[in-house]
Amino acid sequence: MEKRSLSERDICTKFITPALRSAGWDEVSQIREEVSFTKGRIIVRGRMVSRGEGKRADYILSVKPNIPIAIIEAKDNRQAIGAGLQQGLGYAETLNIPFVFSSNGDGFVFHDLTGMSDTVEQTLTLEEFPSPDELWQRYCLWKGLTPEGAAIALQDYHDDGSGKEPRYYQVNAVNATIEAMAKGQDRVLLVMATGTGKTYTAFQIIWRFRQAYPGKRILFLADRNVLIDQTMVNDFRPFLGKMAKLSTQSRTIERADGSKTDVTLALDKKRRIDTSYEIYMGLYQAITGPEESQKLYREFSKDFFDLIIIDECHRGSAADDSAWREILDHFSAATQIGLTATPKETEYASNIGYFGDPVYSYTLKQGIRDGFLAPYKVIKVHIDRDIQGYRPEKGQLDRDGEEIEDRIYNVKDFDRTLVLDDRTKLVAQKVTEFLRDSGDRMAKTIIFCVDQEHAARMRQALVNQNADLVAANHRYVMRITGNDKEGIDQLGNFIDPEAAYPVIVTTSRLLSTGVDAQTCRLIVLDREVGSMTEFKQIVGRGTRVHEDTRKLYFTLMDFRGASSHFADPVFDGEPVQIYSPGPDEPITPPDETPTPGDETTTAEPVDPNETVVIDPGNANLGHVGTSGPKPKIYVDGIGALIVAERVEYLDEQGRLVTESLRDFTRKAFQRHFVSLDEFLRRWNGTERKQALFEELAAEGIPLEAIAQELNLDLDPFDLICHIAFDAKPLTRKERAESVKKRDVFTKYGPQAKVVLEALLEKYADEGVMNLDDLGVLKIAPFTSMGSVVELVNAFGGKPGFEQAVHDLQTAIYEESA
C-alpha cells in the first residue's frame, strides 16, 4: 500500500486510531473523531441569511466524556507530519485543551501548552503516543489538582440518553468551575452572554457537585419568578423529587415539550420549611425583605447549604449595601457561584470584588462568531423633538388647563415629566411600518418604554395602528409590566415559540433581563438606557437563535440614542448594520450595507462552504395624588417628524463613521475599482457579466437595493459608472435601441435572430444580466418559439448560443466600453 496515495480519512483509520488504541485510549468513551464544536457564523446580507462553515477537529481525546485534554489534527501523507499543528493550536485555544498533536500517519508532533515540559514541541513515533493516565497526570500538575481534587474534577456529567451534549463553552465553564471548587475556591464567577445557556450550565455544575459530594444541599437564587419556575421544569427537571421552591404559592408550569407540571413547594401556608429536600429554588424577594418577619432565610442554619448558585448576580446581590447581600453573608460558609452575562464594575458595586475574577468568560462577540447567538441590525431613528427639544409658548396650557413651565424640555423629559402624544404615535407608526415592510406582522416584538404609564400609552397607540390584527385577536398588542396581572399572565405565551399571541408587548423594565424570548425578532428602545449592563441585557433579549422558525437574526430599533453604547470599548458584539433613515426614507434598512471590517465585506468571494439558510429569491429555501411624584405634563398638537439622512457604520478601527448613502456607495465601489479604466477592463475581461455583480453583492454591495434606495433606475453597469466615476448613465432602453440601430443581428439565421431580439427586449424591460443562462429559454416568450434544444441548435449548439449572447452583451455596452 502506497501511504502517500491515501486520503486523510484513510490515514486516520489505518494509522492514527490504531496508535491511540495501542496507547490505551478507549474508542467508545475517550476517542471522538470529526468533532464539530461551533455552529458556523450566521452571515446576514439583506434578507439573505447563510451560515459559515463550523469548526471541526479531527480528534478530541477525553479522559472522561466532556473532560477533553488533547486534540489531534490529521493530514494526508503528502503533507509534513506537523502540517496540522497551527490549526490544532487554534482549536485548542478555543476549547481550553492543553495538549495538541499533528499527524500525517508517520508519527506525531506534540505541542504542550501547559508550559511545564522541558521541550514545548517534540516529534513522537506512532508507538510513543502518550497514554490517558500520562496526559491526565500532566493535566493535574498543570491545574494544581491534588489526587482528591482530581477525583472531584473527574465526576460524570448528566446524560439523559437523548444525545444532548453541552456545547464546548458550557463544558469549559463547568470544568473550570468544578476544578476551582476542587482546589478549595469558595467564591466563583462565571461570565456567559445572554442566550448561551447559563441555567443548563448551572444544572451540570450542580449534577457533578452532587456526584462528588452526595447528600450536600444546594440553594439556587434568582430575582424573577419566571427564572425559577422555568428552570425547575426544564433544565433542572432531572432533580424532580429532590428539589422544591421556597414559596407558598403553587403554580402549574408548561414545560419546553408542551407537557405541564406543578412546581413542588418547600413552604406550607404558614411559611414552615420542609427541610427534607436537597435542592432549594429561592426568589430573593420571597426569602428576605425589610421586615424581620420576611427574612425567611434565617430559618436555615448558617451551614445548612453547601453550595449556592446566584443567577444574574449583576443585579445587586453582591453589592455591600444590597438588601440581598445579607443572604450570601448568612450562608458565608457555603461555596457561592455567581452567574452573569455582564459583570458589574462600578464605584459602588462590584461582582468581581466579591467573587473574584471570572474562572471562565464567553462573550456576545464569541457567541455570534461561533454561530450560537444571532447577529443583529440596528435602526437609529432621530425624532426632531428629541434633537431640537421643546419649549412651550408663553402662557401655553397643558391638557388639564395648567400653564406649562417655561423651559426647554429634551429627550430626558419626554414621557417622564412631559408627554407629547404625537411623539408616541409616531414611534408606534414607525414600528408598525417596519413590521409591514418586513413582510411579517406576526414577528414577536418588545418595546421598552420609560415607565409603566408610557407602556400603556404605547400599547394604545400600537392598537390604533394595527386595528385589523387587534380585531382578529385582542392579544396582538399587550402591556406586560409589574402592575399588570393580565399582561404578566401572558408572559409565558409571549416567550413560547408555539404560541402566536401576544405579538407586540410594551414594557418598562420587566422584560429587560432573564426572559428567554427565543423568537423575538424586533426590540424597540423608546427610553434611555444609561447602564452598559442593562443595555447588554436588553440586546440579549434578541440574541437567541431559533432554527425551527428560522429566527437567525434580529433588529434593534433605537429612538433614544441608546445604541451609542456601541462606541464604548467594553461593548463586544457590534451589529452587522447600522441604518439611520431620513425623513422621507423607509424605516427598513437598505438591502444591504454591511459593516466594513466584517468578514463578509472582504475582497474575497463568499466561501463556497457557506450554507444559505434563507434566500428571498428562492421560495424553497392611574391618578397621582399630591403627595406622590410630580404629575406628567401632557401636551397635544405639537407634532413630531423623523429627521436625519445618513448611513452610520463601524470602520476597520471600530470608529463610528457617518456619511451620505451616495458617498458611502461611491467609496465602496472605488475600493473595488480604483478607476473607470480598471472597471472597464474588468468588465470586458469577464465572460459572465452577472458574476461580477454577484461578487459585489457577496461583498456587501447589492446593486439593485442601492439603486432603489437612491431612486436611480439604472442598469448595474451604469450605476457603477455614474456613482463611482460620474460618467453619464444610459437607461437600458437607450442601450437596447442603440443595439437595434446598429443592426448587429444580420449574421444570424431567422430563428436565432428572433431569439436575440427577444433577449434584448428582456434586458431592456427587466434588466436581465445572465442572458447566457439556458433557463431563460424556458419562459415566455421563448417557449412559443420552440424547445430549448431547438432554439440552441439555431445557433449551431450550446457554444454558438453562448458566443452569440456574449457578443450581444458586448454590443449593449459598446458605447461606454
Least confident of 19-28, 283-292, 374-383, 410-419: 410-419
If you average pLDDT over residues 474-503, what whole number do you get?
83
pLDDT score recorded for residue 325: 81
Residue 652 makes CB contacts below 8 A (sequence gap 6+) with: 596, 597
Long-range contacts of 255-261 (CB under 8 A, 24+ apart): 258/498, 261/233
pLDDT band at 157 (very low <50, low <70, confident <90, very high): very high
pLDDT band at 130 (very low <50, low <70, confident <90, very high): very high
Residue matched to cell numbers 416584538:
445
- 341 and 572 in contact (C-beta within 8 Å)? no
User: How does the average pLDDT of the chain come out, rounded?
Assistant: 79
Helices vs. strands in the chain: H and E counts, helices first: 28, 31
Q: Which residues of 74-84 are buried (b: 16+ CB within 10 A; e: fewer)?
A: bbbbebebbbb
Q: How many CA atoms lie within 13 A of 93 on its CB side?
A: 6
- 110 and 97 in contact (C-beta within 8 Å)? no
In this structure, what are the phi and psi dihedrals at residue 261, rounded to the nearest 5 degrees?
A: -150, 155
In the DSSP assignment, the letter for residue 314 is G
Residue 551 makes CB contacts below 8 A (sequence gap 6+) with: 374, 518, 519, 520, 521, 544, 545
User: Element (H or E) spanning 220, and its range?
Assistant: strand 218-222
User: What are 744-757's pLDDT values in tens digits?
Assistant: 788 888 888 888 88
pLDDT band at 135 (very low <50, low <70, confident <90, very high): very high
Q: Is the peptide bond before 502 cis (omega within 30 degrees of 0)?
A: yes
700 has a pLDDT exceeding 60:
no
> What whole-number distance in Å separates Cα of residue 186 and Cα of residue 333?
8
Longest dimension (CA), the chain: 101
Beta bridge partners of 767: none
User: What are 626-651's pLDDT values in tens digits?
Assistant: 344 556 666 666 565 545 444 454 44
Going by C-alpha positions, the residue among 34, 37, 49 that lies closest to residue 546 is: 49
Distances (CA, A) of 520 to 39, 503, 589, 613: 20, 9, 18, 18
Q: All 3 cell numbers of residue 617?
A: 429569491
- 296 and 288 in contact (C-beta within 8 Å)? yes
What number of residues does the chain have? Answer: 817
- The distance of Cα 189 from the centroid of its chain, to the nearest Å, equals 23
> What whole-number distance in Å separates Cα of residue 811 and Cα of residue 522?
48
- 45 and 111 in contact (C-beta within 8 Å)? no
pLDDT score recorded for residue 396: 81
User: Element (H or E) spanning 524, and its range?
Assistant: strand 520-525
> What whole-number distance in Å separates Cα of residue 560 and Cα of residue 725?
38
Q: All 3 cell numbers of residue 387?
A: 434633537
pLDDT band at 622 (very low <50, low <70, confident <90, very high): very low
pLDDT band at 304 (very low <50, low <70, confident <90, very high): very high
User: What are 249-265's pLDDT values in tens digits?
Assistant: 877 776 666 677 788 88
Q: All 3 cell numbers of residue 510?
A: 420587566
The angle subtended at Cα 337 by Cα 184 and Cα 153, nearest 5°, is 45
pTM of the predicted model as reported, rounded to 2 decimal places: 0.68
The amino acid that residue 283 corresponds to is L
In this structure, what are the phi and psi dihedrals at residue 63, rounded to the nearest 5 degrees?
A: -70, -35
Beta bridge partners of 253: 261
Least confident of 125-139, 423-437, 555-569, 585-599: 585-599
Q: All 3 cell numbers of residue 663?
A: 458617498
Cα torsion for 426, 428, 429, 430, to the nearest 10°?
A: 90
pLDDT score recorded for residue 598: 44
Q: All 3 cell numbers of residue 693?
A: 455583480
pLDDT higher for 465 or 600? 465
Q: All 3 cell numbers of residue 151?
A: 477525583
> For 43, left (φ over 0), alpha (ψ -120 to 50), or beta?
beta
Sign of the dihedral through C-alpha 501, 504, 508, 511 = positive
Cα torsion for 162, 167, 168, 170, to the nearest 10°?
A: -110
> What whole-number distance in Å separates Cα of residue 650 and Cα of residue 752?
51
In the DSSP assignment, the letter for residue 15 is I
> What whole-number distance in Å separates Cα of residue 201 and Cα of residue 193?
12
In this structure, what are the phi and psi dihedrals at residue 132, rounded to the nearest 5 degrees?
A: -55, -40
Residue matched to cell numbers 450581444:
808
pLDDT score recorded for residue 592: 52
- Classified as helix, coil or strand, 125 is strand
The three-state DSSP-derived secondary structure of 245-288 is ECCCCCCEEECCCCCEEECCECECCCCCECCCCCEEEEEHHHHC
pLDDT score recorded for residue 278: 93
Rg (CA), the chain: 32
User: What are 685-698's pLDDT values in tens digits?
Assistant: 666 666 666 666 65
Q: Is the peptide bond before 238 cis (omega within 30 degrees of 0)?
A: no
Going by C-alpha positions, the residue among 512, 506, 527, 528 that lies closest to residue 456 is: 506
The percent of residues in the chain predicted with pLDDT above 90, rounded, is 27
599 has a pLDDT exceeding 60:
no
User: What strand order describes the sheet that includes 42-45?
Assistant: 42-45, 48-51, 611-614
First to last CA, the chain: 58
705 has a pLDDT exceeding 70:
no
Residue matched to cell numbers 417622564:
416
User: Element (H or E) spanning 759, and its range?
Assistant: helix 750-766
Q: All 3 cell numbers of residue 694?
A: 454577484
Least confident of 75-79, 185-189, 266-270, 467-471: 266-270
Q: What is the full DSSP assignment across 618-655? A: -S------TTSSPPPEEE-S----EE--EEEEE-TTS-
> What whole-number distance in Å separates Cα of residue 34 and Cα of residue 206?
30
Beta bridge partners of 524: 447, 557
Distances (CA, A) of 152 to 178, 200, 528, 604: 7, 20, 47, 49
pLDDT higher for 274 or 707? 274
pLDDT higher for 433 or 101? 101
